Chains A and B, each alone.
Chain A
Amino acid sequence: MEIAASPFGLLAMTGWLWGWRRWALIAPPFVWLAVFFLLPLGVVAAISLAQSADTIPPYTPLFTHGPNGLETQATFDNYRLIAGDLHAYVNSLIYAATATMLCLLVGYPIAFAIARAPKAWRNPLLFLVILPFWTSLLIRVYAWIAILQPTGLLNRALRAFDVIDAPILLINNNFSVVLGLVYAYLPFMILPLYGSLSQLDESLVEAAADLGARPGRAFLDVVLPLSLPGVAAGALLVFIPAIGEFVIPDLLGGPGTLMVGKVLWQEFFDNVDWPAAAAVAMVLVALLTAPLLVAQRVLERQRPA
């Protein structure tokens, strides 16, 4: 290996040369994340076992001093309630899956077109794909409210062209939530797809054509299978954040739009039921980090020791 060309290189790579000093690099972020990410999750786990109360803070203590010494008041009631009604979780998964599929369908042609564009165009086009991501999500969702609401631009345009007689309901329903999700997360699908498609060897497509494959056949048998890593990465980048999304179901959804992020928010802010919100959070954390832990284990195993 090239890195091992010098003895210092090998030592530097394994961190030995750094000695105790490497902890100067590791410790600050490690401690910070332990205190402000891991510890809070522990607090959430603890409070998810409490019950809501009219106190400040609004939950019962987990342990109290009773006649028999320390007594616990921990309860799994909040989890029982969630297990009895999994609607919000199932709905979130359905919304996220639908949005992911649509992002793939909309994003693939765009990523393909960018990857096949003249070289000088590619970076500016990619820049244009990323740019909306740098502007506020709230503002982009707000833009859709102005378009979709009953007195909004789309209804007015449709009526002006006599397509419809009365305003149609375009907002506060499933349609507007999925539209908002697709709009917000499309760049996350396009970028990894572009990554895969731009590395694709064009001569493979030409070879398929020379062997008599029609463009559609060549696409299905050559291009699509080779772009699957990009498809998988894009799907994850859209699907995972979409599950816990709050702003989009809140502003574009209706009273019937049940998504976990919104339910958690309502339990916390509207019902002031902190333990219930904590339990909703714990189930969602388990749902989202379990695959990550598995993936990480696999990756660490593959890493040459």
Chain B
Amino acid sequence: MSRRITLFRAAALALGFGFLYLPIALLIAYSFNASRLVAVWGGWSLHWYSELFRDDKFRTAALTSLEIGMMAASLSLLLGTCAGLAIARFVRFRGRFLFSFMLMAPLVVPEVILGLSLLLLFVASQAWLGWPASRGVVTVTIAHATFGACFVAVLVRAQLAGFDRSLEEAALDLGARPFAVLWRVTLPGISPALASGWLLAFTLSLDDLVVASFVSGPSATTLPMAVYSSVRIGVTPEINALATVFVSVVIVLVALAFGLIARQERRRTAAG
């Protein structure tokens, strides 16, 4: 391979990652800007962070989002794991076609439609059944768990495809019941998919503006909803500070999670 091509590759990587990261880097840099004007550098300052931490609106919204995110991710994990196992393990059952359609469709249906359809369902069921009495944390959690479960199912299914079936067979041959095999062989074996599935569902919930805007009520404002309403009014450095906090937390969490998964994989390959 000629040197020219290596240069080309280096340039592709530099430009590509520059494009991906420059906006985020600028966002972080200007969160330390003393000036109110976004594009004028007025010296270093932590002013916008103290402003942010004094702002009740964002703190309440962040707590609401965390609460919804954790509940929705756990529910997604439960439902998605069942679904992924069923689709991967049970080759034939009544309703399999509909089942796999319902698992795939939420991945291609736009958020505006998921949000609108769930809201119309909640409004209709409120009129007929009296439930849900009001919309808020519970309705947003249900909505997020619905698409979160589909993403978890995809990950579980993918990991099961590479899972060594003979381990399950051995357990069965040794007399373990199917649920015991599931609990003690299969689930530990797909734990990386379960961990990344929970994390993915959590992130999707934390990131979602559109669905939450539809199905939430006045009692619950999620973080993206709070950010969106202030971004619509105008760009303020407070959002830069918020974004910096958010991005740092995400980077630390995701790096930790991937580090853990990588270590586990290494340990397994070393043991195997």
Cβ–Cβ contact A3 & B108, under 8 A: no
With A14-B91, A125-B13, A285-B109 already in contact, the answer to whether A268 and B251 are too (CB < 8 A) is no
Given contacts A2-B166, A18-B90, A37-B105, contact A32 B79 (CB under 8 A): yes
Determine which of B38, B106, B179 lies in contact with A37 in the assembled complex, contact meaning CB atoms within 8 Å. B106
Query: A25 to B239, alpha carbons, bound, how many Å?
Result: 43
Interface of B is mostly: helix
Query: Would you call A44 and B120 a contact (CB within 8 A)?
Result: yes
Q: 1/0 contact trace for B79-114 toward A, CB 8 Å?
A: 110110110011111010101111111101111111
A246 touches B16 (CB 8 A): no
Determine if B117 and A186 form an interchain contact, defined as CB atoms under 8 angstroms apart: no
Contact yes or no, B5 A241, CB < 8 A = no
CB distance from A146 to the nearest CB of B (A): 5
Q: Are B118 and A36 in contact (CB under 8 A)?
A: yes
Q: Is the CB of B149 within 8 A of A32?
A: yes
- Tell which of B173, B227, B246 touches A8, judged by Cβ atoms closer than 8 Å: B173
Q: What is the distance, in angstroms, from B98's C-beta to the closest C-beta of chain A?
A: 8
A116 touching B112 in the complex, CB below 8 Å, given contacts A40-B121, A138-B231: no
A296–B127 Cα gap in the complex (Å)? Answer: 36
> A132 to B20, Cβ gap below 8 A?
yes
Across the two chains, which residue of chain A brings its CB closest to B8?
A: A109
**Chain A residues within an 8 Å CB radius of B93:** 15, 22, 26
- Chain A residues positioned under 8 Å from B9 (CB to CB): 109, 112-113, 116-117
A12-B89, A28-B78, A296-B101 as given contacts; A131 in contact with B110, CB under 8 Å: no
Known contacts A13-B91, A144-B23: does B172 contact A264 (CB below 8 Å)?
no
Interface contact tally, CB-CB below 8 A: 285
Does A278 make an interface contact (CB < 8 A)? yes
Interface residues of A in 261-284 (CB under 8 A from B): 261, 264-265, 268-269, 274, 277-278, 281, 284
Judging by beta carbons under 8 Å apart, are B82 and A28 in contact?
yes
Q: List residues of chain A with CB within 8 A of the CB of B192.
A: none
Asked if B243 is at the interface of the complex by the 8 Å CB criterion, the answer is yes
| Chain A residue total in the interface (Cβ 8 A) | 99
Q: Is B203 an interface residue (CB 8 A)?
A: yes
Question: Is A161 positioned at the interface, with any CB of B under 8 Å from its CB?
Answer: no
Q: How far is the CA of A253 from the CA of B101 in the complex (A)?
A: 33
B102 contacts A33, CB within 8 Å? Answer: yes
Which A residues are CB-close (under 8 A) to B142?
36
Decide yes or no: A9 and B105 within 8 Å by CB, A137-B207, A146-B39, A244-B110 being known contacts: no
Complex Cα distance, B23 from A39, in Å, reads 41
A246 touches B112 (CB 8 A): yes
Instruction: Name the residue of chain A whose CB is nearest to the CB of B176.
Output: A8
- Take A29-B80, A143-B243, A296-B104 as given contacts and tell me if A261 and B112 are in contact as well, using a CB distance cutoff of 8 Å: yes
Smallest beta-carbon distance B166→chain A, Å:
7
| CB-contact partner of B91 in A15, A190, A215, A274, under 8 A | A15
Once the chains bind, are A132 and B24 in contact (CB under 8 Å)?
A: yes
Q: Are B210 and A22 in contact (CB under 8 A)?
A: no
Residue B49, interface by CB 8 Å: no
| Contact B19 A183, beta carbon cutoff 8 Å | yes
With A33-B146, A36-B142 known to touch, is A183 a contact of B90 (CB < 8 Å)?
no
Query: Are A3's CB and B116's CB within 8 A?
Result: no
Q: Is the CB of B227 within 8 A of A143?
A: no
Best-buried of A139, A153, A292 by chain B (most CB within 10 Å): A139
| Closest-CB distance, B104 to chain A (whole angstroms) | 6
The residues of B that contact A243 with a CB separation of less than 8 Å are: 110
What CA separation (Å) do A36 and B214 show in the bound complex?
14
Contact A147 B247 (CB under 8 A): no
Kindly state whether residue A38 has any CB partner on chain B within 8 Å: yes
B-contacting residues, A33-47, CB 8 Å: 33-34, 36-41, 43-44, 47
Residues of A near B108 (CB, < 8 A) are: 240-241, 288-289, 292
In this assembly, does A83 line the interface, its C-beta being within 8 Å of a C-beta of chain B?
no
Does chain A have a CB within 8 A of B224? yes
CA distance A277 to B112 in the complex (A): 10
- Asked if residues B227 and A142 are in contact (CB atoms below 8 Å), the reply is yes
Residue B143 CB within 8 A of the other chain:
yes
Q: Which listed residue, B90, B105, B227, touches A289 by the CB 8 Å rule? A: B105
Q: What is the 8 Å Cβ interface bit string for chain B, positions 234-271, against chain A (1 contact, 0 not)?
A: 01000110010011001100100010001000000000
Q: Mark A114-140, 1 if CB is under 8 A from B, else 0.
A: 101100000101011101101111111
**Does B153 touch A at the CB level, under 8 Å?**
yes
A12 to B88, CA, bound (A): 12
Other CB < 8 Å A-B pairs besides A142-B243, A143-B23, A289-B109, 13 of them?
A9-B165, A25-B90, A29-B86, A33-B149, A44-B113, A112-B12, A113-B12, A128-B21, A183-B23, A260-B112, A261-B110, A268-B116, A269-B213
Q: Which 5 A-B pairs have the closest CB atoms?
A: A244-B110, A40-B117, A109-B12, A29-B83, A15-B90
> Can you list 22 contacts pairing A with B, beta carbon distance less than 8 Å?
A5-B169, A13-B89, A15-B92, A21-B178, A25-B86, A26-B83, A33-B102, A34-B102, A37-B114, A43-B121, A109-B8, A110-B13, A135-B24, A138-B228, A215-B5, A243-B110, A244-B111, A246-B110, A261-B112, A281-B116, A296-B104, A300-B97
